[in-house]
Amino acid sequence: MNPYKKKVLEARKKILQLTIEQEKQINNIYAKSATRLIDEILELPDISRTRVHDIDIARLLNDYTKDLYKQLYPNIKDNTMESSIIQRQVILDYVDQVVKDRKLSEIVKHNINNYSNTVVKNLVAGEYYKDGKTLSKRLWNLTSDNSNKIDEFIKMNIAGGANARKLANDLEVLINPKNRLTTTNFKAGFDSYKVSYQAQRLARTSITHAAAETQIQTAKKNPFNRGMKWNLSPSHGARMHGKQDECDDYAGNDSYGLGAGIFPADKTPIQHPNCMCYLTEWLVEIDDAISRINKWVEGNEDRELESWSTDFNKGEDNIKNKTSSSVKVNGKDGTIDINIPKSKNKNINTNVGKDDIINNKKSFKEATNIKEAERYSINSLEFNKVSFSGIDLSVVNRINKTLTKTYDEYPMLKGFIQEIKTCKSGAPASAQISYKNGNLNTVLKLSRDDLNNLNDIDDMIKRCVEAKWWTPKDSIDGIVKHELGHMIEYASTLKMYGVDFDSNNSNLIRKVFNAISNGELSAEIKQEALMNLDIKDTKKTIVDNLSEYGTKNTKEFLAEAISEKEPRKLAQEVVKILKKKIGGIFND
């Protein structure tokens, strides 16, 4: 057996072992969470038909859901990365065999590691999947589903006259995966195995996809790759009970003339959930690879090798480009065109500190006239075009001061928002981002009717706050910060998906459009903030702790929290989580 095939088998064994260990870890997580839930139920007063402790049960189930999520997320995320690390070692060892020049070897291996890390980040961010759901969202959905089923079971038992002791005993059998109960006699219609099954399924699939996508993406860059071979799992026949599925079709496919089960790297199928089949890279012989590299080192032209050693992180994914499209997003004025930057003359500012995102503070001096204020916005805040026409100078100075302060706090905004302009009607302000004719347009719009003078602005805010429609705001500052909150989400989502002003991958552009449209980042922040503070996600609780406008969608929830004057606990928690996420996004 040659060294490469030996490494392939070693990696396969390690990934299988990782899967087995992860199954044990997840079962332990569910078992411990089940024990805690049952112990807390036993501490409740006696439960009867007439004394249903809805609030206590809801609190316990909320704690159970949070406990599961907080343990499962880092476990699955870390094991996903570990799977990629194991798999990439195969090609790294191949590089050691064929690249004898130490410096060249280090460059190529560094590129492979960087690109593989990006693969894992994309998996966690949901880019790998058609529905675009992040790992966090998938986990929260399934743990919440667990909680809902348990709640249904509890209510049925209470209705049947169960006391706390009987309920706890039945739950122990039902939700502790160590019992391995597979009966379907329970009225709730699920069993102890199925309680953790979805998490196990997600975890196994994440490990499999991390290994496969690491192989595929590095193979697409590898000049010595001839294809990817689909290998059936040794247990495939037994698991299928003699039947066949798409895996059998893939293993026998020769539509590309490369041999049975061999696909070009960019045509390799995605494994289905729970799939145990695996890929192997079909490579040229080591001696042939060494000979080719030596010729290139000696001066022969070889563009593939040149690309392999210099721009490994560039290029498109394995989905063909399609024409771009626009996405409408509900903003304060009802419509925001979400599109992706392509212009090469600007880049999103990534000057973000590791521990805090407050950098490069600037002093601010009030302008004496509108033209001076407009020049300040262009020269100091890096807007391309500014018009404060129809707005009082006192308001304009407050706007520039707020922009300066917020840019200090969130430096990725500098250079990201290209234009300020006033309009006659519509919402008091709006944040707009669009991609037209290959160009990015980001505009902060201000209403001349609503923002003409500070007295009118303060009266408007007072009415909205008294009605609980808005969070308390510090005059025009709060209105501007609300819109900047949207811009922060736009800029962060672009960066999170690896989209910059040079991007032209239409598939990725559509994905990031959808992510912004769905408020992917703000949804995660909202979910985490409510969970941390034990606040239920209901309209009433959001209105009481934030504002009614914050119930419209997660994007407005985030913007309302950012713009709150003297922020309450929920707004504080939201901003804290936002800054932490931004630090990770812009420092990766």
pLDDT for position 344: 32
Q: What is the mean pLDDT of each run of 10 residues along the chain (588 residues)?
A: 81 92 91 87 62 67 86 90 91 89 82 84 76 81 83 78 76 72 40 68 89 91 93 83 88 94 93 87 90 88 83 40 31 33 35 36 79 91 91 93 94 90 84 75 89 87 90 93 95 81 66 83 91 89 94 94 95 94 80
pLDDT for position 47: 55
Structure tokens given for 405: 């302060």
Rounded to the nearest angstrom, the gap between the alpha carbon of residue 205 and the centroid of all alpha carbons in its chain is 17
Dist. CA 404–CA 510, nearest whole Å? 32
Are 520 and 373 members of one domain?
yes
In a domain, 118, yes or no: yes
> CB-based contacts of 181: which residues, under 8 Å, 6+ apart?
173, 174, 191, 192, 193
Are 215 and 345 members of one domain?
no
By the 8 A CB rule, do 199 and 26 touch? Answer: yes
Are 372 and 519 members of one domain?
yes
pLDDT for position 69: 87
In a domain, 242, yes or no: no
Dist. CA 198–CA 209, nearest whole Å? 16
Choosing from 195, 224, 253, the residue where a domain stops is 224
Q: What is the dihedral of CA 43, 45, 50, 53, to 10 degrees?
A: -50
Dist. CA 393–CA 371, nearest whole Å? 10
Task: Quickly list DSSP for 413-433.
Answer: GTTT--EEEEESSSSSEEEEE
- C-alpha closest to that of 541 among 552, 551, 532, 527: 551
In a domain, 342, yes or no: yes
pLDDT for position 553: 92
pLDDT for position 385: 92
> CB-based contacts of 531: which residues, under 8 Å, 6+ apart?
66, 69
Number of domains forming the structure of the chain: 2
In a domain, 274, yes or no: no
Q: What is the dihedral of CA 328, 332, 334, 337, to 10 degrees?
A: -20
Q: In 222-259, which residue ranges form alpha helices assigned H by DSSP?
A: 236-240, 246-252
Are 203 and 75 members of one domain?
yes
Q: What is the dihedral of CA 470, 471, 474, 478, to 10 degrees?
A: -70
Dist. CA 130–CA 50, nearest whole Å? 48
In a domain, 254, yes or no: no
β-partners of residue 225 are 283
pLDDT for position 365: 85
In a domain, 469, yes or no: yes
Choosing from 224, 254, 280, the residue where a domain stops is 224
pLDDT for position 480: 95
> Hey, what amino acid is at 513?
F
Choosing from 175, 201, 224, the residue where a domain stops is 224
In a domain, 298, yes or no: no
pLDDT for position 453: 86
Are 451 and 562 members of one domain?
yes
Are 342 and 212 members of one domain?
no
Are 502 and 390 members of one domain?
yes
Are 399 and 514 members of one domain?
yes
Length in residues, the chain: 588
pLDDT for position 587: 72
pLDDT for position 179: 63
pLDDT for position 332: 35
Structure tokens given for 298: 């000696």
In a domain, 261, yes or no: no
Domain that holds residue 169: 3-224
